[in-house]
Amino acid sequence: MADEIVNRVAQSALITFDLEELYPAGIRRQLDISQWLENGIVLREKEFRSALKQFDFSSYKDNYVALHCSTDALLPAWAALLVTTHLYPFAKKIVMGSLLDLENEIYFEIISNLDLQPFENKPIIIKGCSEKTIPEAAFVRLIQTLQPTVKSLFYGEACSSVPLYKK
């Protein structure tokens, strides 16, 4: 009879870290400040404030929101802050920037709050493929968070990984 096939990966102390498992559910949306500007360019404070008061921000309830301005308008710093005060009671998270900036911020917050104790002096493989597109910056932040704690870091899959770090 042939030798028994042994799954050495399953028997190893290797821990697979999958950022996709941390991905919080929720709708991601952009909110364009230019919609409240005259011709999408000029901010007139009285009209701006009035338009914000009339806008239904409740449609952003439990959404992750990226505030941005799609035009080349020169906005005072307080403009995005004022929009945020109206949006805050409804949105899960608000960032100034693109949807990518929003995803980065979501992951940065999650990674900053990780319990690192289970990874102490352990070999870790950071899973490379996933259904969701995980921003590269999230992987960079994860490395900076894990490296001081772990024994070794790999990227990819257990059957085909790239070594990144070893104590």
Tokens representing 84?
């945020």
Residue 32's pLDDT is what?
Answer: 98
Q: Helix or strand or coil: residue 47? A: helix
Residue 20 has a CB neighbour count (10 Å cut-off) of 12
The proportion of the chain whose per-residue pLDDT surpasses 70, expressed as a percent, equals: 93
Can you tell me which residue has the tokens 């498992």?
A: 21
- Is residue 5's pLDDT more than 70? no
d(CA 127, CA 150): 16
Mean pLDDT of the chain: 92
CA–CA distance, 147 with 119 (Å, rounded to integer): 10
pLDDT for residue 13: 78
pLDDT in tens, 58-86: 999 999 999 999 999 999 999 999 999 99
Continuous H helices in 37-151: 45-54, 77-87, 99-112, 136-146
Nearest to 60 by CA among 25, 18, 89: 89
Hey, what are 70's tokens?
């799609």
Chain-centre distance of CA 125, in angstroms?
A: 20
Q: What is the pLDDT of residue 12?
A: 63
pLDDT digit string, tens, across residues 92-114? 999 999 999 999 999 999 999 99
The pLDDT of residue 142 is above 70: yes
